[in-house]
Amino acid sequence: MAEKPDTSTHFDAIIVGAGQAGPPLAGRLTAAGQTVAVIERKLVGGTCVNYGCIPTKTLVASAHAAHVARRSADYGIGTGEVTVDMAKVKARKDGIVEGDRKGVESWLEGMDGCTLIRGHAKFTGPHSLSIDGGSEITADRIFLNVGGRAVVPPIPGLSDVDYLTNVGVLELGSVPEHLVIIGGSYIGLEFAQMYRRFGAEVTVVERGSRLASREDDDVCAAIKEILENDGITIHLDANDIRVSKDGERIAVHTSADGPTVTGSHLLVAVGRQPNTDELGLETAGVATDKRGYVVVDDQLRTNVEHIWAMGDCNGRGAFTHTSYNDFEIVAANLLDDEPRKVSDRIPTYALYIDPPLGRAGMTVAQVRESGRKALVGKRPMTRVGRAVEKGETQGFMKVVVDADTHEILGAAILGVGGDEVIHGILDTMSAKAPYTTLTHTVHIHPTVSELVPTMLEEMKPLQ
């Protein structure tokens, strides 16, 4: 299969980027008899496979193993000294990532009607793209799946020191002595707990007044408590962050009158930005917003009729599951005559600290702002038998319900199995079924999920 096309090669469709939406869309289009070119300038599989979900959750699993080993005496089990071989931890992660990436590559390379092209794509016209500034290909339809990357903020002194982003931190072959993390949101917090459990001293510096600030106050406070219980130092309200060298170390100044933290390594995790700045979108007439995200409608079409944008680059979701759902929406509309829309999906995601946070729908704060009459239920994990049996009782479950329709508006499960338990609630919400669907269902004992109906039965009016 040719790696580079001849000049002026024409396809039915071009997909720019081989992340979570691109390859399955190529599969659907080629199965429908269309010719497809998939252009990837770096690593097949995108952020999830190479720098996101797959490697980080692999490392989280290793960190959890170390944590459980250190707690073994709590369960009546004796072990020797717990050590972490970071080189082996990294090798395990690398092996899993490589296996996943090669699987996607093999799928695309063996797909009849699909040509995988390696190189950087740039629009030369509404229907044409150049590859590495050379050969040009054209298509009737073009789909963008170019993903995003870490934001590097204009922090004074940052350019004078060596720092890591979510990509570089994955390549560490030894445990840092002291990892300082600028950013108290989802990516930063996962790395914070992970490397603390590997044995590093860890400090999180956050400019805001809360960690994971999109969550309700009680969730933010519980996340902070969980991380502090692991021995992580957290500095909030760091409103004047500056960075400087301190010999071979890195000093992070939190604010004018706040503490200065000196560490061996610095991770910057303050957000993401789309990979849209080198595509030549203006040449094709594709509109972007002020942050660089491609502007799309409810079916992921751009302002140019034959161009779509899927995944992180469209600003309509920042997760693997939203990217894959983007593919499903595009395929349903183009191939199945099924008018699916982005606005139909319920916001849902997880924070993979331990215990994890599973989220679906609205926060309680959002429900209050909406003015709805609502009911709210909450149950600490200390009152969940399965959590007590497992010796993992940090966190709580919370749900908010429309008092008039009895439909579930949102939920937060911060506790053991929270990333799995949330799906029973999410499915009920998707079906637009009343909360009594859960309370009238027999659940397996002993599980965490069986206490969701109990929590629902104990709801009180939201004040």
Q: How many CA atoms lie within 13 A of 267 on its CB side?
A: 28
Per-residue pLDDT of 358-371, as tens digits, reads 999 999 999 999 99
Which residue pairs from 386-390 have beta carbons closer than 8 angstroms and sit at least 24 positions apart in sequence? 386/416, 386/417, 386/446, 386/447, 386/448, 386/450, 386/451, 387/415, 387/416, 387/448, 389/446, 390/416
Q: How confident is the model at residue 1 (pLDDT cuts 50, 70, 90)?
A: very low
Q: What is the spatial distance between Cα 448 and Cα 413, in angstroms, rounded to a whole number?
A: 10
Please give the backbone phi and psi of residue 73, each rounded to the nearest 5 degrees, phi first.
-65, -30
Q: According to the model, what pLDDT value does residue 393 have?
A: 98
CATH pick for 9-149+273-344 out of 3.40.190.10, 3.50.50.60, 3.90.105.10, 3.40.50.300: 3.50.50.60
Place of tokens 């997909």: 15
Question: Closest Cα partner for 452 from 417, 433, 424?
Answer: 424
Q: What is the DSSP track for 125-140? A: ETTEEEETTS-EEEEE
Q: According to the model, what pLDDT value does residue 256 have?
A: 82
Consecutive H or E run containing 255: none
Residue 8 reports pLDDT greater than 70 = no
The CA-based angle 48-51-56, given to 5 degrees, is 85
Six-digit token pair at 314?
């469209």
Q: How many CA atoms lie within 13 A of 414 on its CB side?
A: 23
DSSP state of 164: B
Helix, coil or strand: residue 138: strand
Q: What is the mean pLDDT of residues 23-52?
A: 97
Residue 352 reports pLDDT greater than 50 = yes
Q: How confident is the model at residue 7 (pLDDT cuts 50, 70, 90)?
A: very low
Q: What Å distances lie between residue 65 and 31, 54, 84, 85, 88, CA to CA?
A: 43, 17, 10, 12, 13
Is 265 among the residues known to form the active site? no
Q: Return residue ranges of the chain for CATH 3.50.50.60.
A: 9-149+273-344, 158-270
Q: Which amino acid is at 196?
A: R
- Residue of 265, 306, 443, 445 with catalytic role: 445
Q: What is the spatial distance between Cα 164 and Cα 169, in angstroms, rounded to a whole number?
A: 6
Q: Are 381 and 370 in contact (CB under 8 A)?
A: no
Q: How confident is the model at residue 257 (pLDDT cuts 50, 70, 90)?
A: confident
- Mean pLDDT across the chain: 96
Per-residue pLDDT of 195-250, as tens digits, reads 999 999 999 999 999 999 999 999 999 999 999 999 999 999 999 999 999 999 99
Residue 377 reports pLDDT greater than 50 = yes
Residue 331 reports pLDDT greater than 70 = yes
Q: What is the spatial distance between Cα 192 and Cα 293, in angstroms, rounded to a whole number?
A: 28
Q: Return residue ranges of the chain for CATH 3.30.390.30.
A: 348-461
Helix, coil or strand: residue 134: coil
- Helix, strand, coil percent content, the chain, rounded in steps of 5: 35, 25, 40
Q: Are 9 and 139 in contact (CB under 8 A)?
A: no
Helix, coil or strand: residue 108: helix
Q: What is the mean pLDDT of residues 388-411?
A: 98
Please give the backbone phi and psi of residue 395, each rounded to the nearest 5 degrees, phi first.
95, -170
Per-residue pLDDT of 129-156, as tens digits, reads 999 999 999 999 999 999 999 999 999 9
Q: According to the model, what pLDDT value does residue 314 have?
A: 97
DSSP state of 293: P
Architecture of domain 348-461: 2-Layer Sandwich (3.30)
Q: What is the pTM of this model?
A: 0.95
Which CATH number is 158-270 given?
3.50.50.60
Q: What is the mean pLDDT of residues 338-359?
A: 97
